Structures are given as structure tokens and as C-alpha cells.
Chains A and B, each alone.
Chain A
Amino acid sequence: MKRLALAVLLPAILLLAGFKGCNDPYTACVQGSSVAAQSINQGMTTVDTLRQQGTLSVAEESQALDYMEFANKADGAFLSCAQEAHTNGNKPGTYTACANTFNTALNNPAELALLHVSNAQASQTLNTIVIGVTAGVNSLVAALGGA
């Protein structure tokens, strides 16, 4: 279980490290989107593994997958937003607005409710997945510095 959580958290740690010294907001956003997509991918396979191990029920896996897919769609919208900001000449504040919208989506209480599961360890693992991604996006917002 801990190995699974670390596998999911690792991309976020790499993301946090990768933003240091990155002065190009477009590249930072693209890297953030890429790492989020990798984390979401690992999150999907992780919840399927947990269900196969009997830690999650079928219904719980289904709901957790729904959250992952919601986050994946939000990531796609974030990437499109950043690409549009780049095409439109890197206007001040546009990248930060994209990242803030992504962050707000990830923290949507109705969507986060999909991650409530009965098994305490599984719940912790799911929280680790979400915290890994949201910590990475928070770090991105900070690194953008309002760009």
C-alpha cells in the first residue's frame, strides 16, 4: 500500500523540484499538466489494484475512477488554457488564471466526495493521490508568481 502511494506521490515531488528555476510560464504549465496526467494515470491503475486486492469495493473503485477522470478532463482544459495563453502572447495573469481554475476544479467538494471509501488505508492512499496532484498545482501557482 505504501509503495503504491509513493508511486503516485513521486511525480508530484518531481514536479515540485522541476519548477525551481523555471522562468518560462508556458513551459512550467505544460510540465505541470504532464506530471498531473502521469499522476492521474497512476491513480487509475492504483485504485484498480486496490479493488483487485479487496481493499476497495467495485462501487468505490467506480467512484474513485470518476474523480480521476474528472481530474483528467480538468487537466486537459488546463493544458488547452495554457496553450491559448501562449498563442495569445503571454498576457500577464493568464497562466495563473489557468492554474487557479485547475486547482479549484481539483478541490471541488462534490467531486472530492467521490473519494470517500470505508477502508482507512485505502482512504489514505486516495488522499495521497489527490494531495500529490494538488500540491504540485499549488507549487505551480506559486512558481508562476502571477504570470
Chain B
Amino acid sequence: MDTNAIVQLILLAISETTQMIGWIRSQTGLTADQQAAATQKLIAANDALYSALKGSLNLPAPPATS
């Protein structure tokens, strides 16, 4: 993946999580189940952000195990 694609991926991941956090904070009337569903989405978005940020660091691949 080239650098521009990685940067775009990171920006997208940050944008999505930021929007999600803003939305969660604005929803004061949610039931606990609705809050739980929104939080699950945020946790999944954090997974994606982690992958995007790690991918941007260009770390050497771990040695292959056989």
C-alpha cells in the first residue's frame, strides 16, 4: 500500500471515530442497549484505527513461523 493510501486510511479512521464519539456524546436519551450497540461500533472502529496507525509506521514484518 502506498503512503497516500495509508494516510487516507488513517484520516478516514480518525474521522469515523471522531464522528462516532460526537454522536455518542450528543445522544443523551439512549437506552443502555442502544449505548451498548454504539460502543461496540466504536470499539470496532478503534480496531480499524489501530490497524491503520500500525500500518503507517512501516515496521518490518515479523519473521515467518513455519
A34-B38, A38-B24 known; A69-B50 Cβ under 8 A: yes
A31 to B47, CA, bound (A): 19
Cβ proximity bits B21-38 to A, threshold 8 Å, 1 near / 0 not = 100100000001001101
Closest residue on chain A to residue B35 by CB atoms: A30
- Mark out the residues of chain B between 26 and 62 whose CB falls within 8 Å of any chain A CB in the assembled complex: 32, 35-36, 38-40, 42-43, 45-47, 49-50, 53-54, 56-59
What total of chain A residues lie within 8 Å of the partner, measured CB to CB? 28
Partner of A75, one of B17, B24, B43: B43
B14 within 8 A of A: yes
What total of chain B residues lie within 8 Å of the partner, measured CB to CB? 24
A122 to B11, CA, bound (A): 23
B25 to chain A, nearest CB (A): 8
Residues from chain B with Cβ under 8 Å of A33 in the complex = 36, 39, 43
B8 to chain A, nearest CB (A): 15
Check A26 against B32 for contact (C-beta < 8 Å). yes
A139 within 8 A of B: no
Check B39 against A37 for contact (C-beta < 8 Å). yes
Interface of chain A: mostly helix, strand, loop or mixed = helix
User: Which candidate, A41-49, A96-104, A113-121, A124-132, is the interface stretch facing chain B?
Assistant: A41-49
Closest residue on chain B to residue A38 by CB atoms: B21
Residues from chain A with Cβ under 8 Å of B39 in the complex = 30, 33-34, 37, 79
Closest residue on chain A to residue B20 by CB atoms: A41
A142 within 8 A of B: no
A44 to B45, CA, bound (A): 12
Chain B CB within 10 Å — which of A31, A41, A61, A68 has the most?
Answer: A41
Check B40 against A76 for contact (C-beta < 8 Å). yes
Chain A CB within 10 Å — which of B24, B43, B49 has the most?
Answer: B43
Q: List 6 contacting pairs A-B, 8 Å CB cutoff, sorted by A.
A: A27-B32, A33-B39, A37-B46, A44-B50, A69-B46, A79-B40
